[in-house]
Amino acid sequence: MMGTLKTEPARTRLDLLAAPVAAAIERWPDEAPVDVDDVLVAPIDAELADTAAFCAAYEVGLDESANCVVVAGKRGGETRYAACIVLATTRADVNGVVRRMLDVRKASFAPMAEAVELTGMEYGGITPIGLPEDWPILVDSRVIATPHVIIGSGVRHSKIALPGPALGALPGATVMEDLARPA
């Protein structure tokens, strides 16, 4: 499919997904705009999970690779979280667009240990599929304009491939213009 990845339907390889991701795939709604069989998974070398190394090793363009970053901000003593989905050729506008969406004074990337604990996923593999239901998922419009994208699978030893528009159709997702800026 993309690059040299050997993909197969994610629902047939739940063993390649973090538990919350597998659970989300198992309850994928029949009426979803993207069929669950269009959500694919491919095993990869966990040492090559970071975006630049992954893209180089598996011949996937940075413009086909999406990153999911967890952002946190505080308001009135409450921590608010959001997941931002941006192409690897861009960077999330954390202290502009994201901060305003969370309605916080300052936003930053959530600390690694906190992101891992709250998502039930491995750092470097966090994905918007299977995140806590109360988290907003902010998707840059460039992501949904991409026919197929590669994202994390919740673990470092695999990646998910799916149509870009599927990310904008996830529960809790909001597609935003200019969520990200060119890297």
Give this prediction's pTM: 0.95
To the nearest 10°, the Cα dihedral for 155, 165, 71, 18?
-20
Query: What is residue 44's predicted lDDT score, i.e. its pLDDT?
Result: 98
For the chain, the straight-line distance linking the first and the last C-alpha, in angstroms and rounded, comes to 26
Structural domain 8-175, CATH architecture: Alpha-Beta Complex (3.90)
Parse the chain into domains and list their residue ranges: 8-175
Would the pLDDT of 127 be above 80? yes
- Reported as type and span, the H/E element at residue 166 is helix 164-168
- Grade residue 2 by pLDDT with cuts at 50, 70 and 90: confident
Q: For 29-42, how does the pLDDT look when each residue is reduced to its tens digit (9 = 90+)?
A: 888 888 999 999 99
Q: For 46-63, how does the pLDDT look when each residue is reduced to its tens digit (9 = 90+)?
A: 999 999 999 999 999 999
What six digits make up the tokens of 128?
């918007």
Q: What average pLDDT does the structure give for the chain?
A: 95
- Reported as type and span, the H/E element at residue 118 is helix 112-119
Q: For 70-97, how does the pLDDT look when each residue is reduced to its tens digit (9 = 90+)?
A: 999 999 999 999 999 999 999 999 999 9
